[in-house]
Amino acid sequence: MSIRYIQVGHGTKWYMEALELRDEVLRKPIGLEFPEYQVDLEVADIHVVGLEKSTENEAESEEIVACLLLHRLGPTEVKMRQVAVRTDRQGRGIGSGLVEACEVVARQLGFRSMVLNARATAVPFYLALDYQVRGDAFEEVGLPHFKMSKAL
């Protein structure tokens, strides 16, 4: 399995495929729909995807298996959001690779800290990547979440 992590532009083919992945993995399972206005709100965000080589009909191509976005909070702080890995690819290190790749991008852009709101079920994943819980649980999209952060 070879995954390539890249930054993609808003509105591109890869961005649109990442939207579909986010909808399938993050929203539909909890009964939410992806609102159209959300696309416009993400124009200034940094979009990172994980691409896996695929050979269908003897033609080599790449498909998105993971994605996330980074939202600027200030000159040195960025928020990781909408982290999704294709359900059939979870548990293979793809999510860890994606987070590590986005940390490299964030450092290159001058950010010194990363924050995120993790679903309670994802807290152990982020703890293993050296993120720290900041405060008590709170509810977001009907699920318990925790604020987490990491110095870059």
Please name each of the domains of the chain with its CATH number: 3-116 (3.40.630.30)
Who contacts 113 (Cβ-Cβ below 8 Å, separation ≥6)?
A: 76, 77, 78, 149, 150, 151, 152
pLDDT at 39: 82
- Going by pLDDT thresholds of 50, 70 and 90, the confidence category of residue 152 is very high
Cα–Cα distance, 45 to 33 (Å, whole number): 20
Mean pLDDT score, 15-39: 87
Q: What is the pTM of this model?
A: 0.91
What mean pLDDT comes out for the span 142-148? Answer: 94
* Alpha carbons 131 and 99: distance in angstroms, whole number: 11
Reported as a pLDDT band with limits 50, 70 and 90, residue 59 is low
Confirm if 115 and 77 have CB atoms less than 8 A apart: yes
Listed range (23-37, 63-77, 78-92, 122-136) with the worst mean pLDDT: 23-37
The SS3 call for residue 108 is helix
pLDDT for res 2: 87
* Range list of β-strands (E), 73-137: 77-85, 113-119, 132-133
| Predicted pLDDT at 55 | 66
pLDDT exceeds 70 at position 107: yes
Q: Do the beta carbons of residue 94 and residue 66 sit within 8 Å?
A: yes
